[in-house]
Structure 1
């Protein structure tokens, strides 16, 4: 019997059929990637494998067998034994999966005790063992840390350790690398690959990133509207897709080895200039330098890309350029004049539009705020301008009265762009504006920014950990590491002939669509990293 056998699976939420007649198998030790846009039903399928829809009101049809358990007919006790002991799940957001009040080691030990009834001493030893196995340094000390004391990559490793505690035969990973920078993403994917090699466990990977699928899976199943569009060996499906939808999905993937298709029409006019920027947090021995002596210029009509790992200082730099943070040292000048506070001419599009939009106010009112702040008078005129902006970013007049939760991720990001445009800016700083979006929505938002830039002559500072996206949108690029710019220049020069080992390391960590190339890069990453 297969490790996973799904036959004619349907999942309905009210009138919405999220999964529609899906069938597939996964053998022991194999890896299958479910790939598709947001809303295609991928995560719903993953939840169905563990019976997570039971008691939610969802209607589940068809049959699901996992590790010999008939998930549809299993009792609650049988499902509890299945979850963790036979099959385990790693979710996209580790912070929502980990208890903020308890130490990481205690949480892993508790999972082990629940399923094995081991002693506290044995459970503690097992927690340390799996933490060491997933590469947590100084595991004994770090096991006493709470989730907020771990970085994003370390939290994801801790979740994988928890999943491994009971040695399951199946690991379900639901978007495990979405919010991680390229080097940490590569480390997590390498870890999953190594665990499969050493333990023989099966892997079901849910992802909207086709490159991640190429790096990690033997087979790929492309989903659309809850149905299977294409299914087969990863090399065949990604190398020669038979279906137009799969070809469109691949066509939307930004390529790190492809020059920018359309260059911006930049002028020599400098609109934003930073000199010797430094930003410290804390005092005395606890002081931490997030940005250290950075100088840069941004010209009208151009895009300056800023790349680097998490913690490199990218977001801190962006917030100083906008005026949300005051530099500890250094100067920022807009149009040749000192720029120290928030300036309507320099706006920001944030990574997470949900947290930057008031959930209790309609998006129309949120977009209107900058208009009122700059002295616009007359509610009718303000409303007309908001409707113009909504239409300009590809939304509709009817969206004015809706609330943020009623929009998709891509639509919310369009709202964020409309709000930034309301201030009539000349510079927009984009902080990871597409990091949580699927590749087609990502391409739409990037295309919108490029169109606005060309029409309005905007200067863009595009901050991202996705090097492929940055290459597609940028004229020049600055590579940041530990608060400093280690390499900068025209984007094609930096990408095609990087001078710094760190830049080469970043580029080598970008997922490849060719599984054979991905394997060679994985082997190369086992060599000592830049220190």
Structure 2
């Protein structure tokens, strides 16, 4: 479904993303993990054509993402609150997003009503603008606005970061449900290893712009990741021979 080919992004002379090859197949649930500065958000932004790479390309359904519109019909993403229109109420924003996808207000109302528990009574019918919501509640609005679009490919950047534990649990169940029962391809970045290994069948570990591990999730994945991050990046680099480090 998605192919990343020889993609590089450079800031101030430093390569911040360098991914020779990445294949995301239809129906996969993928977690992207890594420390701050690993390049996760930059990779997301290139996959969404928000920034352009110095080299390489991203293909969606075999066609380049850059400069094209086809992928927007089946792709939904939430990276941060900057994606929202903060001078609207949540209801107005949902109607706006629904209207972009030929959904009437009654259709939007019917769809949104099923997320009452996820909203925990804090989003709808409160008369608040999105800018006046907590960051966690803004995240809830962003995530549900993605699902409202009924995407085939869903990208979420750190969706667990600002939400409470109950909502984290509900979000995990939502993500597993849309992947397993609806076949939605999901790509979720997170610092929370427990959440991402619980939700995703495949884990990509990113360090200093490179994807250094690509593993299927199994019973030992969480422990392997915890051990990796406990040791720390510097230790990994000091133990790698130069030629092996070049190949990662």
In 2, the alpha carbon distance for the partners of 1:399 and 1:333 equals 41
The answer to whether the aligner puts 1:428 opposite 2:150 as a matched pair is: no
Instruction: Tell me by how many angstroms 1:347 deviates.
Output: 1.6
Q: Per-residue deviation at 1:287?
A: 2.0
For residue 529 of structure 1, what is the aligned residue in structure 2? 235
CA contact (8 A) 1:429 1:461 kept: yes
1:312 paired with 2:38, answer yes
Pairwise CA distance, 1:529: 3.3
Q: Distance in 1 between matches of 2:94 and 2:109?
A: 10
Map 1:32-71 → 2, pairs under 5 A:
none
**Other-structure match for 2:10:** 280
Q: Is the 8 A contact 2:193 2:226 kept in 1?
A: no
Quote the Cα distance in structure 2 between the aligned partners of 1:393 and 1:349.
17
Give the whole-Å Cα distance in 1 for the aligned partners of 2:125 and 2:26.
Answer: 32
Aligned counterparts, 1:210-289, within 5 A: 271-281=1-11, 286-289=12-15
2:168 aligned to which of 442, 448, 457 = 442
- Find the aligned partners of 1:442 and 1:497 in 2 and give their Cα distance: 21
Q: Give, in angstroms, the shift of residue 357 of structure 1.
A: 2.4
CA 496–367 in structure 1, closer or farther in 2 if over 3 Å, else same: closer
Secondary structure of 1:333's match?
A: strand
- Partner deviation per Cα, 1:470-517 (whole Å, 9 max, x = no partner): 11111111111110011112022772685xxx97331x37xxxxxxxx
1:454 is matched with 180
Q: Is the 8 A contact 1:479 1:503 kept in 2?
A: no
Residues 417 and 437 of structure 1: CA distance in aligned 2, closer, same or farther (over 3 Å):
closer
Matched, 1:356 2:83: yes
Query: Any idea what the Cα deviations from partners look like across 1:187-213, whole Å, max 9, x if unmatched?
Result: xxxxxxxxxxxxxxxxxxxxxxxxxxx
Aligned ranges for residues 295-310 of structure 1 at < 5 Å? 295-310=21-36
CA RMSD, aligned part only? 2.8
Shift of 1:276: 1.6
Contact 2:136–2:162 (8 Å) recurs in 1: no
User: How much does 1:406 deviate?
Assistant: 5.5
Per-residue CA deviations over 1:43-80 (Å, capped at 9, x if unaligned) read xxxxxxxxxxxxxxxxxxxxxxxxxxxxxxxxxxxxxx
Do structure 1's residue 345 and structure 2's residue 74 form an aligned pair? yes
Distance 1:405 1:332, change over 3 A: closer
1:454 positional shift: 3.0
Question: Separation in 2 of the partners of 1:413 and 1:385?
Answer: 22
Higher relative contact order (CA 8 A, sep 6+): 2
Return the alpha-carbon distance in structure 2 between the equivalents of residues 307 and 293 of structure 1: 15
- Which aligned pairs between 1:24-423 and structure 2 lie closer than 5 A? 271-281=1-11, 286-341=12-67, 343-350=72-79, 352-353=80-81, 355-374=82-101, 376=102, 382-394=104-116, 395=119, 398-399=124-125, 402-405=128-131, 407-423=133-149
Q: 1:497 to 1:442 in 2, by over 3 A?
A: closer
Asked if structure 1 preserves the Cα contact closer than 8 Å seen for 2:203 and 2:216, the reply is yes
Distance (whole Å) between structure 1 residues aligned to residue 193 and residue 204 of structure 2: 11
- Is the contact between residue 359 and residue 405 of structure 1 (CA under 8 Å) also seen in structure 2? yes
**1:339 deviation in Å?**
2.0
Matched residue, 1:236: none
Q: Which runs of 5+ in 1 are unaligned?
A: 1-270, 510-524
5+ residue gaps, structure 2: 238-248
SS at match of 1:444: helix
Structure having the higher Rg? 1
Deviations 1:89-136 (A, max 9, x none): xxxxxxxxxxxxxxxxxxxxxxxxxxxxxxxxxxxxxxxxxxxxxxxx
Q: TM-score, normalised by structure 1?
A: 0.39
CA shift for structure 1 position 365: 2.3
The question of whether the paired residues in 1 share the 8 Å contact of 2:204 and 2:214 is answered with yes
Give the Å deviation of 1:447. Answer: 1.7
CA distance in 1, matches of 2:32, 2:204: 5
Provide the rounded CA distance (Å) in 1 between the counterparts of 2:223 and 2:124. 49
